[in-house]
Amino acid sequence: MKLDVDVLRYLSRDDFRVLTAVELGMRNHEIVPTELIDRIARLKHGGTYKVLRNLLKHKLLHHDSSKYDGFRLTYLGYDFLAIKTMVNKGVFVSVGRQIGVGKESDIFEVAREDGTVLAMKLHRLGRVSFRAVKSKRDYLRHRSSFNWLYLSRLAARKEFAFMKALETHGFPVPNAVEHNRHCVVMSLVQGYPLVQVKELQNPGVVFETIIGIVVRLAEHGLIHCDFNEFNIMIDDDEKVTMIDFPQMVSVSHRNAQMYFDRDVECIFKFFRKRFNISFQEIVDDVGGSDEGRVEGGKLSFSEIEKSAGFLDRELADSGFTRKDEEHIQRFIEGGAESDTNSDGEGVDSVKDLNESNIIDGDSSHLLEQDDRYESEGKEESCEAGESSGESEK
Ligand code: ADP
Ligand code: MG
């Protein structure tokens, strides 16, 4: 995804005003009626229409006239709103090269005024769905289809909250700097994703460190759920940093055991294949450092769960609510449906809306999914899940 930040410089206050009006309108509308945008933006002398044309030209908005005349934000439009806010807050002053393309995010370098380089993650939840198997009936019953804007915002909020809490508890994670909308700014990790590392001085030590992290996470009440060679960064000194937290769950989750086993198995499998560490060596290593937790060559989750700590409860106070977690999990586990034939909410109700209820409206009713990307399933196996997760380093 190209992020032409030069455009930022050419955008006026009115441009951002109209862009924000579309964002507000999207709380209740899949496509925001042009007339409504004009009413929210309140530019003089029909200024909104001229601005809309400009925003369309720069691909910050998408025009749709299939049902009625209206607009919606594109990823780029949403990116610009978040970036503008970050710049206004003084979080960074410029955006540099793209350093990662994840399944559901784009990662860029950004620079502070003093030249410090940070990493900016733009969440794109809904770009691909997490599972091939979707529960259509469940979706219809609970109306669990959310738009990508809302989901991406939730993912960012969750990632930020988890990263902060994990850092506080001494886990090797990036420093969480700031978040806004679907955007998280964090410290730049030196090094490479483990998947790109062909050789290690001390594969045994690195392996133990990594397994130690999974175990300690569980002791703190959490499971990463996507713990694999794409989400573990390693630097020249073979120091390990864990990244990518939107899918983490509590050890009290009903599938906790399965997620935990899958995380551990991913690591076992990767080290076996890449570094030829034999299964016995692995068991001996882990058995030595985590006595009582290895049963028949497997880490025993029940032993760990018994001592589960407080981190998941602590997170509940971080601004990332239980309701947020329910919504994001419903999407991750059930897969959100693309909703082109929605129940029509927001489509015929333009006349009933006034500005205040748009602004105060609950955004959880959003019913749009970006249709530019084909839905595709996330494989259960570790490697297939992130086939596009290579960084450019
Ligand atoms: P996704 O959820 O899309 O998989 P990730 O958080 O795993 O996104 O990031 C994708 C890639 O971007 C990573 O594999 C890594 O190469 C790079 N990346 C992510 N965060 C950082 C960071 N803080 N510092 C350096 N590189 C990063
Ligand atoms: Mg990742």
The DSSP-derived string for 2-49 is ---THHHHH--HHHHHHHHHHHHHTTT-SSEEHHHHHHHH--GGGHHH
Which pLDDT score, from 0 to 100, does residue 318 have? 74
Nearest CA to ligand 1 atom 12: 100
Contact between 346 and 28 under an 8 Å Cβ cutoff? The reply is: yes
Contact between 120 and 107 under an 8 Å Cβ cutoff? The reply is: yes
Which residues are found with C-beta within 5 Å of the ion, ligand 2? 102, 231, 244
The DSSP bridge pattern shows strands 94-101 and 105-111 to be: antiparallel
Ligand 2 centroid distance, CA of 388 (Å): 10
Q: Is the pLDDT of residue 356 over 50?
A: no
Which pLDDT score, from 0 to 100, does residue 389 have? 39
Q: Is the pLDDT of residue 366 over 80?
A: no
* Ligand 1 first shell, C-beta below 6 A: 99-100, 102-105, 107, 119, 121, 174, 186, 188-189, 193, 230-231, 243-244, 386, 389, 391
Of residues 101 and 289, the one with the higher pLDDT is 101
The mean pLDDT value for 244-269 works out to: 93
Which pLDDT score, from 0 to 100, does residue 306 have? 63
- Strand (E) or helix (H) holding 119: strand 117-123
Ligand 2 centroid distance, CA of 275 (Å): 21
User: Of the residues 92, 97, 99, which should be mutated to test ligand 1's pocket, given the most ligand atoms within 8 Å of the CB?
Assistant: 99
Ligand 2 centroid distance, CA of 67 (Å): 37
Contact between 244 and 226 under an 8 Å Cβ cutoff? The reply is: yes
Q: 384 falls in which pLDDT band (50, 70, 90)?
A: very low
User: Of the residues 152, 379, 391, which should be mutated to test ligand 1's pocket, given the most ligand atoms within 8 Å of the CB?
Assistant: 391
Nearest CA to ligand 1 atom 26: 189
Ligand index nearest the alpha carbon of residue 174: 1
Ligand 2 centroid distance, CA of 216 (Å): 20
Of residues 131 and 316, the one with the higher pLDDT is 316
Distant-in-sequence, close-in-space partners of 67: CB < 8 Å, separation ≥ 6: 31, 347
Nearest CA to ligand 1 atom 8: 102
Q: Is the pLDDT of residue 391 over 80?
A: no
Q: 167 falls in which pLDDT band (50, 70, 90)?
A: very high
Which pLDDT score, from 0 to 100, does residue 200 have? 95
DSSP-derived 3-state class of residue 277: coil
Distant-in-sequence, close-in-space partners of 367: CB < 8 Å, separation ≥ 6: 30, 145, 146, 147, 339, 342, 343, 345, 346
How much is the mean pLDDT over the chain?
78
Give tens-digit pLDDT for 2-20: 677 777 778 899 999 999 9
Contact between 124 and 103 under an 8 Å Cβ cutoff? The reply is: no
Which pLDDT score, from 0 to 100, does residue 371 have? 27
Nearest CA to ligand 1 atom 5: 244
pLDDT over 90 for what percent of the chain? Answer: 55
Which pLDDT score, from 0 to 100, does residue 326 have? 85
Which pLDDT score, from 0 to 100, does residue 278 have? 64
Q: Is the pLDDT of residue 336 over 60?
A: no
Q: Which atom of ligand 1 is nearest to the CA of 106?
A: 3
Of residues 289 and 38, the one with the higher pLDDT is 38
pTM of the predicted model, to two decimals? Answer: 0.80
User: Of the residues 243, 244, 373, 382, which should be mutated to test ligand 1's pocket, given the most ligand atoms within 8 Å of the CB?
Assistant: 243
Range in 44-48, 145-149, 221-225, 331-335 the model is least confident about: 145-149
Give tens-digit pLDDT for 299-324: 777 777 666 666 666 776 677 888 88
Question: Tokens 């130690």 belong to which residue?
Answer: 212
Q: How far apart are CA 272 and CA 269, in angstroms?
A: 5
The mean pLDDT value for 19-33 works out to: 93
Q: Read off the tokens for 146.
A: 């959310």
Q: How far apart are CA 142 and CA 146, in angstroms?
A: 11
Q: Is the pLDDT of residue 392 over 80?
A: no
Helix 34-41, helix 47-57: angle, nearest 10: 110
Of residues 356 and 277, the one with the higher pLDDT is 277
